[in-house]
Amino acid sequence: MSEMKRLFGLILASLVSLSVWADALWIDVRTPQEYAQGHVEGALLVPYQEIGQRIGSIAPDRDAEIHLYCRSGRRAGIALETLRAMGYTRVVNEGGLDDVVKQYGLPVVRE
């Protein structure tokens, strides 16, 4: 029975990860060099210093679900505050890339 519970847990975690991934915009706020070394598959590169100028063309809907990440969460936090000041309501600081991979199991790609 414990093996069945473990499998159910894995399946449920996979479904949650897929749901979070499919319905949201993922933005990597690191540098282009960091992005090239590895990023969440499908994540857009928007360095945190540029988020205020570029977000309108990326996500004109201020109720869009946006997940931000960087290396440690600091730059994602700065970007989050910028977006909230602009009226974006569903923004999440996911911390660092390693945190995202560990929590959601999302694939990482390298360029």
Considering its fold, how many domains does the chain have in total? 1
In three-state secondary structure terms, 29 is coil
Return the closest-CA partner of residue 32 out of 74, 58, 66, 70. Answer: 70
Residue 70 is a catalytic residue: yes
Torsion of CA 5, 10, 72, 24, to 10 degrees: -130
Q: What percent of the chain has pLDDT over 70?
A: 82
92 vs 2: which has the higher pLDDT: 92
Contacts of 103 (CB under 8 A, 6+ apart): 94
Distances 41 to 8, 23, 60, 74, 106 between C-alpha atoms, Å: 25, 14, 22, 21, 7
Contacts of 59 (CB under 8 A, 6+ apart): 25, 66, 88
- In this prediction, residue 5 has a pLDDT band, given cuts at 50, 70 and 90, of low
Task: Write the single-letter amino acid at 39.
Answer: H
Q: If you average pLDDT over every residue of the chain, what do you get? A: 89
The answer to whether residue 4 scores a pLDDT higher than 80 is no
Return the closest-CA partner of residue 28 out of 86, 85, 101, 89. Answer: 101
Q: pLDDT tens digits, residue range 10-55?
A: 554 554 444 444 679 999 999 999 999 999 999 999 999 999 999 9
Q: What does the pLDDT average to over 62-87?
A: 98
At residue 11, the pLDDT reads: 58
Catalytic-role residue among 29, 46, 68, 70: 70
